[in-house]
Amino acid sequence: MLIMILLKSKKKPSEARKIINIYPQVLINAKVNSEKKMTYKEDKDINEAISKLEKEFENNGRVLIRPSGTESLIRVMIEGEDKEYILKKAKELADLIEKKLR
């Protein structure tokens, strides 16, 4: 797809690279009860917190929440412009998930 876009736009890869923003990323693991890790989407408070973060970062970053396939963890990953701020937000969400799913 990248090659197709470059051919259509008639831009060099170095030119196309300038339009991509690379943001800092943080990953926090929330320790949860193994039997509950797949139920995080069913919790109203967790879903509201995730939705709020997704809206906040939709134009300048991203939010990814996923249960670990092998451990009793839910992984909270956020990308954004301000590393300290995204770290704070990821910790807040991980703390909420741990509190609700222990």
Chain segment 32-83, per-residue pLDDT in tens: 999 999 999 999 999 999 999 999 999 899 999 999 999 999 999 999 999 9
pLDDT surpasses 90 at 101:
yes
Is the model's pLDDT at 19 over the cut of 80? no
CB of 65 closer than 8 Å to CB of 79: no
Output the pTM of the full model.
Answer: 0.84
- Which pLDDT does position 1 carry in this prediction? 82
Q: Return the sign of the alpha-carbon dihedral for residues 72, 50, 60, 84.
A: negative
Q: Which residue has the tokens 């996923």?
A: 66
The CATH number of domain 21-101 is 1.20.1440.130: no
* Residue 14 pLDDT level (bands cut at 50, 70, 90): confident
Structure tokens, 53: 């973060």
